[in-house]
Structure 1
């Protein structure tokens, strides 16, 4: 960069456009929720609660400061549902859908932003991938909505059952965490049909768009990419391990699994393990769990879902790379080998950066919450992990947060959905190519 030149933000970068796009969507959602037509009791909703709800929906988190069913009208609930759909599938993915419907070709810049939006490696076949993802996503949501509507039609009017089916199918697939029952899905913890349908929705949304596309083509190609193998293996392992640990920890807890039948114990353990890493819905009272279970759930929420998915966290592939680095270091190996492939140094550094930045953000948020909120450490740490992982589970403190606490959680949810690296790229100045490298130094660690 020439001497004396100013370093300016790169306002046309894909990262900056994605960040700006989410801010606009959140702002529009806040304005719509503040309209009298959105509220059952017009004028009673505070603007910061509308902002919090809009941010939570657009960032597909599910933390709530007001009861959705009793606060918002059907119009307001539809606004929340659309925010979840936009936030889950991504602004550029939905924009691509409209472009395809009107027959408009995507420009190079559109494809670059779309590549950034779904975490693709290249622009090759990007529109084809997005087209399949849209078809796959809407098909899953549609089928699940029908199943849930038929299930709820036996206990509520058919029209309401259809509406509830659509809302919760969108919420669960996009890992939005919102529900219209007021107590999440505790009433259905022993219902195998609901548990199966909801779990499939949450897992599908949390796998990531690239994995969905890969699975869509599996019958033709008869092989999966390295990325898909990593995501599927880690996701499966975390679901099983999470379910087993929660089952063991809570088996004798009379306030959670202790008083349930064996079927309900198994269903609740599996559903909570699936939900903890992204969805934010529950079939047990989170505040009644033992502290060991609550801390373990913080770890699962911090890991989160997979790249390019509707969930947050450091992502499953990042977690697997760090586990691979740990194994390689212990065995004295120079390379990280995953499924007979060597992990590139650049990816390892990126994974390390994501983990360190996320830990720093988590630590800062917890310290600030402890400063502005008069509450114990674990509930606030749980809240921070839920926000940065865009999960939506809470130990019951969300609706009791101060205005400063709500703003802090809003910022954390936004960072968790966009990703700390994407925000860093969006805010860094545009720089010229570095023409030199510093000499390598000897550093003692350990």
Structure 2
């Protein structure tokens, strides 16, 4: 009796490319939603709507209009929804919806989910998704409750609770959108704001795989290598950036110089923590010294963790680059860290990702300088902020014309979804049928 084997149906489009189309679709949806008359207090242009939608879906936070005054509660809700979907991951969000309605998650959906979560295997993805949902809801609910202690006494129950929920979602997803024109500067010395908001975006910036590992394991020795590198790297960057910012800006009258010393310490901690991922600020970014601005650009370029709500080349990528450099100077062929070994393939992926990222930032900065006369540092700062989906600005976002906005939107989009496509291309191997003799190139 002949057996009939059912062929496994493969997706017509590669998962990363389909995810990119879905992200673009949500941007289009957000653009039309924000253009509705009930979404804004006064008419906005299509360019304003498209820029805001792109910034929200890519969880960047760059704005061309004040979110709190330009948009109604409906418009703010649309922005918050775009932030939540963009930060959580579109396929993760879709699988959660399917699970809530008891619908099966097929093989094709698992492939897309695997790419969205940057996983190498399609097993245990649903369990990982459920853990992500628990972590997200728990962090955002606790964060909203704590922020309500500050916002409700000042704005009342209705408006205060809305502000607490909006900023909790924005903070955990590292979006940087705020309902106040000066971001969170009026609470520069408030302990609740300075502890709750950084805790939210640090948790979101660690990455869902790290959160899942911590949730399941809760033992340093049993953590994966990725989790150990992320925790150690994040702690080191936070300590270094906090101390550096305090030393460089302590006497600057435009930032820390006008504050009391306790507020200076709070501001140093908050601004150093938010720079790599979130985009909130408690001091005026336009008043930073040139040295501090350059340091911030470096931190924004590094960004947060893989599969996180943040952008950048990722902390683990930066660490592997440093480890590869150290191994080279020690004449070692392999990289050893936490009793594990990293192979040449991973180093090559890191080099490819970093090279493409550097070229993207340089090309975008060059194009902006061609069409917009202005401060080079401010334009470069804006470009790096867009690529890292950070959202900090030296005050020039609203000065760009439609062409400049298009460039920034493209950089935000690539900074958010580009690594997925690059990872897919690097993971696709085509064995070579032709071999060549080894050659020598003199370097340095």
| Residue in structure 1 matched with residue 320 of structure 2 by the alignment | 321
In structure 2, the residue corresponding to 1:219 is in which secondary structure? coil
| Residue in structure 2 matched with residue 371 of structure 1 by the alignment | 370
| Residue in structure 2 matched with residue 37 of structure 1 by the alignment | 38
| Residue in structure 1 matched with residue 232 of structure 2 by the alignment | 233
Larger RCO of the pair (alpha carbons < 8 Å, separation 6+): 1
What's the offset of the Cα at 1:397? 0.2
Alignment of structure 1 residues 327-342 onto 2, 5 Å: 327-342=326-341
The range that moved more, 405-414 or 343-352, is 343-352
| Residue in structure 1 matched with residue 163 of structure 2 by the alignment | 164
| Residue in structure 2 matched with residue 440 of structure 1 by the alignment | 438
Aligned partners of 1:122, 1:206: CA distance in 2, in Å?
Answer: 22
| Residue in structure 2 matched with residue 181 of structure 1 by the alignment | 180
Is the 8 Å Cα contact of residues 353 and 422 (structure 2) preserved in structure 1? Answer: no
Aligned partners of 2:50, 2:203: CA distance in 1, in Å?
Answer: 28
Aligned partners of 2:226, 2:414: CA distance in 1, in Å?
Answer: 24
Are residues 1:25 and 2:26 paired? yes
| Residue in structure 1 matched with residue 407 of structure 2 by the alignment | 408
The range that moved more, 171-180 or 327-336, is 327-336
Alignment of structure 1 residues 58-137 onto 2, 5 Å: 58-137=57-136
Is the 8 Å Cα contact of residues 16 and 425 (structure 1) preserved in structure 2? Answer: no
Aligned partners of 1:404, 1:221: CA distance in 2, in Å?
Answer: 49
Residues 431, 140 of structure 1: CA spacing in aligned structure 2 closer, same or farther, 3 A cutoff? closer
Deviations 1:73-102 (A, max 9, x none): 110000000000000000001001101101
* Count of equivalent residues: 433
What's the offset of the Cα at 1:424? 4.5
Aligned partners of 2:219, 2:336: CA distance in 1, in Å?
Answer: 27
What's the offset of the Cα at 1:150? 2.3
The range that moved more, 339-348 or 407-416, is 339-348
Is the 8 Å Cα contact of residues 19 and 426 (structure 1) preserved in structure 2? Answer: no
Is the 8 Å Cα contact of residues 195 and 267 (structure 1) preserved in structure 2? Answer: yes
What's the offset of the Cα at 1:262? 1.8
Instruction: Report the aligned-residue RMSD.
Output: 1.7
Are residues 1:145 and 2:148 paired? no
Residues 221, 383 of structure 1: CA spacing in aligned structure 2 closer, same or farther, 3 A cutoff? closer
What's the offset of the Cα at 1:445? 1.2
Aligned partners of 1:25, 1:182: CA distance in 2, in Å?
Answer: 26
| Residue in structure 2 matched with residue 423 of structure 1 by the alignment | 421
In structure 2, the residue corresponding to 1:123 is in which secondary structure? coil
Residues 37, 269 of structure 1: CA spacing in aligned structure 2 closer, same or farther, 3 A cutoff? same
Deviations 1:201-225 (A, max 9, x none): 0100100000000110123796211
What's the offset of the Cα at 1:422? 2.7
Aligned partners of 2:443, 2:118: CA distance in 1, in Å?
Answer: 33
Aligned partners of 2:220, 2:362: CA distance in 1, in Å?
Answer: 44
| Residue in structure 2 matched with residue 5 of structure 1 by the alignment | none
Structure-2-length-normalised TM-score: 0.95
What's the offset of the Cα at 1:441? 2.0
> What runs of 5+ residues in structure 2 fail to find an aligned partner?
1-10
What's the offset of the Cα at 1:439? 3.3
Aligned partners of 1:222, 1:444: CA distance in 2, in Å?
Answer: 43
Aligned partners of 1:111, 1:436: CA distance in 2, in Å?
Answer: 35
Alignment of structure 1 residues 221-300 onto 2, 5 Å: 223-300=222-299
Aligned partners of 2:123, 2:233: CA distance in 1, in Å?
Answer: 27
| Residue in structure 1 matched with residue 14 of structure 2 by the alignment | 13
What's the offset of the Cα at 1:290? 0.7
What's the offset of the Cα at 1:323? 0.2
Deviations 1:356-405 (A, max 9, x none): 00000000011001011111110000000000000000000001111111
Deviations 1:22-75 (A, max 9, x none): 00000000000011111112xx21101110000000000000011111111110
Deviations 1:93-115 (A, max 9, x none): 10011011011221111111111
Is the 8 Å Cα contact of residues 141 and 169 (structure 1) preserved in structure 2? Answer: yes
> What runs of 5+ residues in structure 1 fail to find an aligned partner?
1-9
Aligned partners of 1:238, 1:222: CA distance in 2, in Å?
Answer: 22
Aligned partners of 1:331, 1:427: CA distance in 2, in Å?
Answer: 31
Residues 142, 262 of structure 1: CA spacing in aligned structure 2 closer, same or farther, 3 A cutoff? same
Deviations 1:302-352 (A, max 9, x none): 000010000110000000000001111111111111112111211110000
Are residues 1:46 and 2:45 paired? yes
